[in-house]
Amino acid sequence: MSFVHSLVRQIAHLIDDPAAIVFVRTTDGQYVFVNEAYERQLHLTQAQVLGKANEEIYGSEDSVNWQSADSFALALGVPVVTVEAWYDPSLRRWRKFSALKWKATDPDTGDEFLVGVSVEATDGEVLVQQRLANLQAGVIAAWDSTATGRKEAREADDQRGPSRGSTEDRSAGA
């Protein structure tokens, strides 16, 4: 299973909000994953989104605003909260989303991705704040466990030492 699919499964287990939009993009901005809520709420299919950047999908005006938040999340390296607006031509109105974005790094390849979880901010401010707080708790747990997993893997590699491929009994002399 690829890193992205593993990451998405982990997020799905931690986020108990079926309306939450989840997406994963490369650091170049190309989508590599969108969930069903993304497709349903934004009226776009995976075929219309995957492999494309925001500018190709939404136009440059909206994309410029999102790109600065994306760059900030990637540079900072920790989950950040953003509020983003988008004009939905199918509904002929502006839509506002609260999003959590963070950088995830594939421990095997070193590839970096931007992960985002968004909720629409039209359900009333208190409800959105509650939903965002719940999402934030799940996202930070996912981010912490990923960071912890990377740390534990590094520590295990350090304990094995340079003779990882050796067949000698390591318990001898211990």
Instruction: State the pTM of this model.
Output: 0.69
Q: Domain for residue 166, yes or no?
A: no
Q: Domain for residue 174, yes or no?
A: no
pLDDT tens digits for range 19-39:
788 899 999 889 999 998 899
Instruction: Give the span between the Cα atoms of 1 and 80, in whole angstroms.
Output: 27
Provide the residue type at 63 as one letter: S
Q: Is 73 exposed, middle or buried (0-12, 13-18, 19+ CB in 10 A)?
A: buried
Instruction: Give the CATH number of the domain where residue 101 resides.
Output: 3.30.450.20
Give the model's confidence band at 43: pLDDT under 50 very low, under 70 low, under 90 confident, else very high.
Answer: confident
Considering the chain, what is the average pLDDT of its residues? 73
Number of domains in the chain: 1
Sign of CA dihedral 105, 14, 75, 41: positive
Among candidate residues 14, 23, 19, the one with its CA nearest the CA of residue 140: 14
Q: Which domain range does residue 106 map to?
A: 3-156
Q: Domain for residue 130, yes or no?
A: yes
- DSSP string spanning 20-33? -EEEEEETTS-EEE
pLDDT at 165: 36
